[in-house]
Structure 1
Amino acid sequence: MEEAGREKEVVIPGEVLGKASDLMAGRGAYVAPHNNLVYASLTGFRRIVSPPLDSPVQDQRPTVEVTHHKAHGVIPEPGSVVLARVTKVMAKMASADIMCVGPKSVREKFTGIIRQQDVRATEIDKVDMHLSFRAGDIVRALVLSLGDARAYYLSTAQNELGVVSAESTSGATMVPISWTEMQCPLTAQIEHRKVAKVGG
């Protein structure tokens, strides 16, 4: 395998790498069927690999790959369930650092955004972000899409999604008592959250 493009060009998820008619999508790349363009699916170095000598004559396209600049970890993708730590809560959205995709921990930093309309499935217009999440909460969320290049849009609108672990102001791990409330075991103080349903 000979590397044709030796320049170390860093690309980010969603960046166009070329046309599918000119390039085959390798690791870290995918073809969008609606426009036949090849996009990067992860952050890393763009690399063009010449076709192997024994490839069929009719398909002599080089392969474009995105190779990680660090050890290859799991990548959040639309439809995957992630665990994330809330870092900031604002009026219309909360931001969070994605820690795990499914059971696997991530090796690089991915940021998620939970928008007001994605917190729950009902009474969306009445959602108060500050009564749903607090900084430091661990939430289970569904990846909706790659929002902009810097953050994934996350949803907690299903019953089993939402806050799975939260600390009270006293520093104790709170116990869920309803789908909107958690209680501190030390002080019995109740705090509002969008709680993830546990079990069936």
Structure 2
Amino acid sequence: MTMEVECDVDDTIENLQTELQAGTLAALPGMRLWSASEDYTSGSGTYEDKGYIFSSLVGIVKVTPAEGNKKTVEVIPIGGGAALARTGEIVTAIVARVTDRGARCELRCSGARPLTRPLRAQLLKENVHDKNKDRVDMYKSFRPGDIIIARILPITSLQCYDLATDEPELGVVIAKAADAPPGVNMVPLSWSEMQCPVTLAKEPRKVAKVAPENVRDLIEGNK
């Protein structure tokens, strides 16, 4: 199955402006929100990197007037912060390291609540897919820097959470190609491959089977 995604930057900014005016634009950690300029600056819940403003948490994007003619881009957290994740919850995590046996991750949000601090987690090879578990190739499923949606498995250690992406709706939601320009995310071509819209480089991933507009609903369902 192939997903068709519009990648034109001008169209993307126009769509963002429409959603911002309606107050419905939801953000995930690492999502590019706006071009940093003399008119737009980074506010709470965001950070600036190489000329762009990115979200640092799950929440609703808000643009507010600042000094002069400037405007501040902020992300307002959905609900209060959480100190720990709970078994069965959908979490947002950043992949830190990938080996042939699994991936080390940092949890950033539990359900719709940003965590008060990053938490350690691991995604083992046998928990990536629900079928053909012995044939999973971790290097073709995830890369460092990917943002994923996963489920918390029953807790067996207080030092590290165990994650699973063995459901169709779980997996990679945001990823960058190795040679991509700053701020450019790949788009899904299928549920196992993504492509950089600028360089056209293709990379394998375990893509979450969820449209971008449904990511918020998936997370909020675990509030």
The TM-score normalised by the length of structure 1 is 0.62
Q: State the 1:73 CA deviation.
A: 2.9
The structure carrying a bigger helix percent of its residues is: 2
Partner residue in 2 for 1:80: 89
Which of 156, 175, 191 is the aligned partner of 1:179? Answer: 191
Partner residue in 2 for 1:149: 158
- Say whether residues 1:120 and 2:129 are aligned partners: yes
Q: State the 1:159 CA deviation.
A: 0.5
> Any stretches of 5+ residues in structure 2 without a counterpart?
1-79, 215-223
Task: Write the deviation string for residues 83-106 of structure 1: whole angstroms up to 9, x where unpaired.
Answer: 000000011010100000111110
Contact 2:81 2:114 in 1 (8 A): no
Alignment of 1:59-138 (within 5 A): 73-138=82-147
SS of the residue aligned with 1:114?
Answer: strand
How many correspondences in the alignment? 130
Aligned-residue sequence identity (percent) comes to 37
Q: State the 1:72 CA deviation.
A: 7.0
Q: State the 1:122 CA deviation.
A: 1.1
AA matched with 2:149: R
Q: Which has more radius of gyration?
A: 1
Change (3 A) 1:196 1:72: closer
- Mapped to 2, the partners of 1:73 and 1:140 lie a distance apart of 17
Contact 1:145 1:154 in 2 (8 A): no
- Mapped to 2, the partners of 1:127 and 1:83 lie a distance apart of 22
- Mapped to 1, the partners of 2:136 and 2:154 lie a distance apart of 21
Query: RMSD over aligned Cα, in angstroms?
Result: 1.7
- Mapped to 2, the partners of 1:122 and 1:72 lie a distance apart of 35
SS of the residue aligned with 1:145?
Answer: coil
Contact 1:74 1:101 in 2 (8 A): no
- Mapped to 2, the partners of 1:141 and 1:72 lie a distance apart of 19
The structure carrying a bigger strand percent of its residues is: 1
The TM-score normalised by the length of structure 2 is 0.56
Q: State the 1:127 CA deviation.
A: 0.3
Partner residue in 1 for 2:208: 196
Partner residue in 1 for 2:177: 168
- Mapped to 2, the partners of 1:176 and 1:72 lie a distance apart of 31
Partner residue in 2 for 1:54: none
SS of the residue aligned with 2:167?
Answer: coil
